[in-house]
């Protein structure tokens, strides 16, 4: 036997397989250490992305949330400040209104009253056009605003007449302050005093001849003291829900009172007689007053 055949080649496998076979074989699962580690990291990263969701709140969104809260607060405050209750008492009717603090208002015929209920305990203020008698609970300042002036009290009973260019306040108990809207002149009334705005500005104050706990109209009695006759007819219109056509240029004044529990024709007869006037009823609720022809 050839010596070369008797001795193994050092390059051959002990099992007799040539190294060439192993060197040419490719095992698909064989990977390097670095490659295996990279694959593992990649799988972990993919799992994290599919199971964990993180939301980052940006600073801009925080400001937006704060701004939204401020807008909501301002909206609620604005609603409380400007929400208004409006009451209207029509002709021929008397009504009463209770205010949030327990104060009450009795409204004469054809009177508008408004106030802000949700702002009441910050500022007790009402707006009035017409005539009303107030029973005010003690507390912070209470103001009645009209187009010509403002009446301010702390706790009292008083009557406000604010119609057109006429503004008259009667203080029954306590004290009230009258303030003119334009000129700013003021006057303080004590019990049984009446303040009236003059056409030239300012207020005139008169003492009532007899003390009254409330104005007559709250007891269905209309009372006049040196009142222009045109105002007397206007008041009768309001109390009975009628229309009275009167002569132009009436300058007379009237002092007296009438019960509203009687027919309007009786009142017109009593009112017209001393001024040499007559009246007649026309269609519907209209009445015509004219100078007597006798």
pLDDT in tens, 248-271: 888 899 999 999 999 999 999 999
Query: Hey, is 57 helix, strand or coil?
Result: coil
Integer Cα distance of 155 and 141 in angstroms: 8
Mean per-residue pLDDT for 139-155? 91
Residues of the chain with CATH 2.60.120.1440: 73-218
Judged by average pLDDT, the poorest of 37-41, 124-128, 133-137, 144-148 is: 37-41
State residue 40's pLDDT score: 62
CB 95 within 8 A of CB 132: no
Integer Cα distance of 61 and 212 in angstroms: 66
State residue 12's pLDDT score: 47
CB 205 within 8 A of CB 195: yes
Q: Mind listing the pLDDT tens digit for each residue in 21-65?
A: 445 545 454 556 667 566 666 666 655 545 555 555 566 777 777
Q: Residue 137 pLDDT > 60, yes or no?
A: yes
Judged by average pLDDT, the poorest of 67-76, 110-119, 201-210 is: 67-76
Judged by average pLDDT, the poorest of 54-58, 99-103, 128-132, 144-148 is: 54-58
* Chain mean pLDDT for the chain: 83
Quote the radius of gyration of the chain (alpha carbons, Å).
Answer: 47
CATH of the domain spanning 220-294? 3.55.50.30
Integer Cα distance of 112 and 54 in angstroms: 61
State residue 26's pLDDT score: 52
How many residues belong to the chain? 294
CATH of the domain spanning 73-218? 2.60.120.1440
Residues of the chain with CATH 3.55.50.30: 220-294
* Backbone φ and ψ of 12, nearest 5°: -100, 150
Query: Hey, is 61 helix, strand or coil?
Result: helix
CB 117 within 8 A of CB 83: yes
How would you list the strands of the sheet with 277-281, edge to edge?
243-245, 286-291, 277-281
Integer Cα distance of 170 and 158 in angstroms: 6
Mean per-residue pLDDT for 195-203? 91
């Amino acid at each position: 036997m050839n010596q070369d055949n008797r001795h193994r080649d050092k390059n051959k496998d002990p099992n007799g397989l040539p190294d060439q076979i192993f060197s040419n074989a490719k095992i698909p699962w064989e990977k390097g250490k670095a490659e295996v580690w990279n694959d593992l990291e990649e799988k972990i990263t993919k799992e994290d992305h599919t199971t964990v969701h993180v939301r980052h709140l940006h600073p801009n969104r925080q400001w937006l949330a704060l701004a939204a809260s401020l807008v909501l607060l301002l909206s609620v405050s604005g609603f409380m400040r400007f929400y208004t209750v409006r009451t209207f008492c029509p002709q021929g009717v008397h009504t009463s209104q209770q205010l949030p603090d327990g104060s009450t208002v009795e409204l004469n015929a054809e009177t508008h009253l408004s106030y802000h209920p949700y702002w009441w305990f910050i500022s007790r203020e009402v707006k009035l056009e017409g005539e009303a008698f107030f029973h005010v609970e003690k507390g912070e300042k209470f103001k009645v605003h009209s187009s010509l002036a403002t009446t301010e009290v702390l706790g009292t009973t008083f009557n406000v007449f604010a119609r057109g260019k006429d503004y008259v306040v009667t203080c029954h108990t306590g004290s009230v302050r009258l303030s003119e809207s334009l000129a700013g002149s003021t006057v303080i009334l004590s019990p049984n005093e009446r303040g009236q705005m003059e056409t030239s500005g300012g207020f005139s104050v008169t003492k009532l001849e007899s003390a009254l706990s409330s104005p007559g109209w709250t007891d269905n009695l209309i009372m006049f003291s040196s009142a222009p006759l045109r105002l007397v007819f206007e008041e009768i219109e309001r109390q009975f829900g009628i229309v009275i056509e009167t002569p132009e240029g009436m300058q007379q004044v009237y002092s007296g009172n009438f019960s509203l529990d009687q027919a309007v024709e009786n009142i017109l007869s009593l009112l017209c007689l001393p001024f040499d006037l007559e009246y007649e009823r026309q269609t519907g609720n209209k009445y015509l007053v004219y100078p007597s022809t006798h």
